[in-house]
Amino acid sequence: MAEQNVPNKLGINILSSEQQEKLRQFKIKTRIENESYLMAHPEVELMIGDFLRSVSDFLFVILFYALHLAYHNTF
């Protein structure tokens, strides 16, 4: 039985074996290229780290403020 163009639960055609292999190879190639870029540009890792710390600090402030309001206000 051919598995090409068999609809899945969403009614979308499933990729053929050849398409799946091409997609797998593309994903591998993309990951390797991304890793190479990040190794060549360490400043990107620093920028991402700074951004995530900022988001974390911001979320902590929001949580602290929400807890402060909940504790001091009676609804």
15 touches 26 (CB < 8 A): no
pLDDT of residue 21: 92
pLDDT of residue 71: 85
The residue extents of the domains of the chain are: 27-72
- Mean pLDDT for each consecutive 10-residue tract of the chain (75 residues)? 57 80 96 95 94 92 88 72
pLDDT of residue 1: 47
Task: Please tell me the distance from the alpha carbon of residue 52 to that of residue 61, in angstroms, as a whole number.
Answer: 14
Its pTM stands at: 0.53
pLDDT of residue 40: 96
User: For residue 24, what are the CA distances in angstroms to 13, 15, 56?
Assistant: 17, 12, 34
User: For residue 19, what are the CA distances in angstroms to 14, 25, 43, 60?
Assistant: 9, 10, 36, 45
- Both tokens of 26, joined, read 């593309």
pLDDT of residue 30: 98
pLDDT of residue 7: 59
